[in-house]
Amino acid sequence: MILLRQDCLVFKKANGEGVPGSAKEFAVDVIGEALGMLDEEVVKNAAEAVLHYFKEELGRTSITIGEFSTALEETLRKLGYDIKSAKAKSASKDPGVLTRDLREIASQSGIGYELLFFSLLRDEVRDGLGRSPQILRFLGLRKCVKHLLGVKKWNGRCQTLSDQIVEYLRTCMEAEKEQASCSLLVF
């Protein structure tokens, strides 16, 4: 096994191939053309924070590019920047529809960490409603549930957790939205 530099992770591509690289290199790929509009030092520090989170707090040495881009976008959003990857832009062509992937949120929390997942989910609802969409759409419920429970086949526990997630989203929507009329769509 080859040891990675401290500032590197193995980034898994969609085809399963792992590519070692620094967080800064992949941050440039994720942000793309918007990089010129951001402070380079802010992007560098945000990428290093995401790297630290995955390596030190989660103890991981490899992540998917999707996981990294989601975490980097969230970090930059919390710093006041409105960044979306090309994947996120293509997922929602309608400006009134804001789409979030439940599977990506679940992968940030890890297998068996439902409490962390629900906390991250609430943050996503808050962030989504802050953008005043007409529809807040959450995709990938089944995959999310199976990931959280660490199972391959759907079972009774999966159905229970699925129902809990939908009910939690409804509760968050009611608690967070004020006068705005926003619909919730989960599938």
Same domain, 25 and 41: yes
Residues 48 and 6 sit within 8 Å (Cβ to Cβ): no
Report pLDDT digits (tens) over 141-173.
999 999 999 999 999 999 999 999 999 999 998
* CA dist list (Å): 69 to 12, 26, 108, 167: 12, 8, 11, 28
What is the span of the domain harbouring residue 42? 1-86
User: What's the pLDDT band for 6 if we cut at 50, 70, 90?
Assistant: low
Whole-structure pTM value: 0.53
Indicate if 35 and 64 belong to the same structural domain: yes
Q: How many domains does the chain have?
A: 2
Domain boundary residue among 47, 70, 86? 86
**Could you tell me if 61 and 133 lie in one domain?**
no
Same domain, 79 and 156: no
Written as one string, the DSSP assignment of 115-175 is: HHHHHHHHHHHHHHHHT--SEEEEE-HHHHHHHHHT-SS--HHHHHHHHHHHHHHHHHHHH
Query: pLDDT confidence of 86, banded at 50, 70, 90?
Result: very low
Token pair in block for residue 56:
């030190």
What is the distance between the alpha carbons of residues 103 and 143, in angstroms, rounded to a whole number? 6
Mean pLDDT, rounded, of the chain: 78
Same domain for 61 and 120, yes or no, is no
**Statement to judge: residues 133 and 164 lie in one domain:** yes
- Comparing C-alpha atoms, which of 74, 131, 153 is closest to residue 108? 74
Residue 71 confidence (pLDDT) above 90: no
What is the chain's length? 187
**In a shared domain, residues 12 and 47:** yes
pLDDT in tens, 28-66: 555 654 555 666 777 778 888 888 888 877 788 777 777
- Residues 75 and 98 grouped into a single domain: no
67 alpha carbon, distance to own chain's centre: 6
